[in-house]
Structure 1
């Protein structure tokens, strides 16, 4: 921790510098809090703008129960990117029957943030580049930066349903 931010290690082992902006908001689960809630060993979700291994945070969420809550997952579920390594091809959970890549409408704002938060809590270690609302009202979170998953499906009430 410093006066302007903190450093974290992702579940894939990469060190990342998080810089605080004047507009950065902090949450502890779903409740508002302050930067003092960020302490060593806490699992956090950081939303913001990236530049290499630095994130200028717009929102920092302390994950419930120190990473043991229903919104968090263990690092064992993460498949870190390895250059030249083949992707793991698998599907888990529910994938919408009528899903086709490229379908849906891109969403932003609070809706996209909630879908992103759910996806990254279940599959930490990657980067979300867009959130799409599908015709059935669910969301497809497009996830890059790791070999798997690439698509994470989130319900209308922001629960992760499946991934591939």
Structure 2
């Protein structure tokens, strides 16, 4: 912790520096929170702009005590340079999906898709959210070998990954 941010460890063991600004918002559950709610050992979801291993936070969501766990979290494979990723698919990939297609989205829509993806697959970093022609979202997930794409439906529920 510092006056301008904090450092966190992802569930994959990576260190990430979080920079806060005067416009960074904090949330806990459905209510507001403050920087003082971010303490050692408390899980957080950070939304913002990624630059390497630094995130300039626009929003920090403090997770509830005991944190939500996901059976899919155990499937996340931390990134290891030179190590091939697992080639697999779980759930549904939207019909007619083509990698690289769609329109990049931002703001509240991107934040909701990111929150859903990271709740299901913690440990990586989201660098963009793309709206597909079907109206579903592809959350592009980096910093892990698998998954690389997480698919979120119009209701912001994770439906698949590859």
Cα offset for 1:58? 1.3
User: Which stretches in structure 2 are left out of the alignment for 5+ residues?
Assistant: none
- Residues 53/147 of structure 1: CA separation in 2 closer, same or farther (3 Å cut): same
Tell me the residue number matched to 1:118: 116
| Structure 1: tracts of 5 or more residues without a match | none
Instruction: Check 1:60–1:131 CA distance in 2 against 1; reply closer, same or farther (3 A cut).
Output: same
Q: Is the 8 A contact 1:11 1:78 kept in 2?
A: no
Indicate the residue corresponding to 1:163 in structure 2. 161
TM-score, reference length from structure 2: 0.88
Number of positions where the alignment pairs a residue of Structure 1 with one of Structure 2 = 162
Cα shift readout 1:23-58 (whole Å, capped 9, x = no counterpart) = 110011332211122122111111223344332211
Seen in structure 2, the aligned counterparts of structure 1 residues 33 and 74 have a Cα distance that, compared at 3 Å, is farther
Q: Secondary structure at the match of 1:67?
A: coil
Structure 1 stretches (4+) deviating beyond 6 angstroms? none
Q: Tell which has more relative contact order, 1 or 2 (C-alpha 8 A, sep 6+).
A: 2
CA distance in 2 between partners of 1:138 and 1:44 (Å):
25
SS of corresponding position for 1:111: helix
1:28 aligned residue? 28
**Does structure 1 residue 47 correspond to structure 2 residue 44?**
no
**CA RMSD, Structure 1 to Structure 2 (Å):** 2.0
